[in-house]
Each structure stands twice: as structure tokens, then as C-alpha cells.
Amino acid sequence: MSEQGKRRPLPHDFHPPVPGVAVSSTDLTDGGTLPDAQVYAKGNTSPQLSWAAGPEGTRSYAVTCYDPDAPTGSGFWHWVVFDIPADVRELPTGAGSGDFKGLPAGAVQVRNDYGSKDFGGAAPPPGDGPHRYVFTVYAVDTEKLGPDADATAAFVGFNLRFHAIARGNLIAEYEEK
């Protein structure tokens, strides 16, 4: 890992505490190793994610994938999608492909740090140690978060900080040796 093995804080460490949302996946194991399908050079496919209903007041959901351990000083956004309707509780494998076929109508996907509007898999620098890939589901208190498809991931994160009423995540690690 960059900076001699130091782990950077998770993005939610700086947000107000909110209730949890149970998140599961048929493709990922929380605390496990990120499968090759979610590695940029091997499959580059967004994982299946399911979640429990958010608390009363949930009007939509957002899903992100973030690597806090990237040697950038600001982490690395791999996937950001929001305005997922409140009645949706799952994104299928490959939903983040960029063609919107696996995303529900109305969902907005913004550019990741690769510069594309899709899921971008893990690609840590060789020898940088294990990186954590934090897949987060946010329950949001508004149907439309506000940003549009040209927003940055950081701006979406800023808005989620003020509109998330619950969140849960799965964290998997990957290391390029």
C-alpha cells in the first residue's frame, strides 16, 4: 500500500453518523479479495449488489465504489451512480457497463476517475500493497440528488454527505504484485 503501508480513512469517516443498510453481493465477499471480474485488466465488470430497504423517508439510492488507498492524496472513484428509484433493491452484475442496460430508468452515472461514465475496475500500482474497494449503498432523502451526469464524483459525494439518511458497504481488497 502506498505511503509505507498506511491505510487512509474511509470516505464515511468524515460524514455524520447514520443508520446502517444491509448490503450483500453474489459477486463479492465483505472482507474478502476482489474477484478478477472486478479488476480493470481482467473483467472490468461491476458486481451484483443487493440492499435492504432504507429507513422511512428514503426517496432514492446511490451506489459508489471508492479506493481510499490509491496513491493520489484524494483516493480514486471507480463508480458513482445515483437517483436509483426507492423501490429498487438490487443492481445486477454488469449494471455499471456504461450502456445503462442494467440500471433502472432515471439512474444517473457520472465519470469515475478513469474519466468514463461506467464502472472502472481495480488497477492499483504493482507493489503498492493491498487496496480496499469500498462499495457503498446510500439511502437518500430526495428522489433527485441534484447533480447531473456531468458532475464530478466528489461533487456527488458532497451532496450525499447532506442527503444520506442511511448507508452500508462491502469492502474487498485487491493487490497487484
Predicted confidence pLDDT, tens digits, the chain (177 residues): 444 456 788 878 888 999 999 999 999 999 999 999 999 999 999 999 999 999 999 999 999 999 999 999 899 999 999 999 999 999 999 999 988 788 999 999 999 999 999 999 999 999 999 999 999 999 999 999 999 999 999 999 999 999 999 999 999 999 998
Number of domains in the chain: 1
| Dist. CA 134–CA 78, nearest whole Å | 9
Residue type, position 103, single letter: L
Q: Order of strands, edge to edge, in the sheet holding 60-67? A: 108-109, 76-85, 60-67, 131-140, 164-174
Residue 5 pLDDT: 53
Query: The CATH number of the domain where 156 resides is what?
Result: 3.90.280.10
Domain that holds residue 71: 2-174
Residue 100 pLDDT: 79
* 4 phi, psi to nearest 5 deg: 55, 45
* 64 phi, psi to nearest 5 deg: -135, 160
Residue 50 pLDDT: 98
DSSP 62-109: EEEEEETTSTTTT-EEEEEEEEEETT--EE-TTTTSSS-TTSPTT-EE
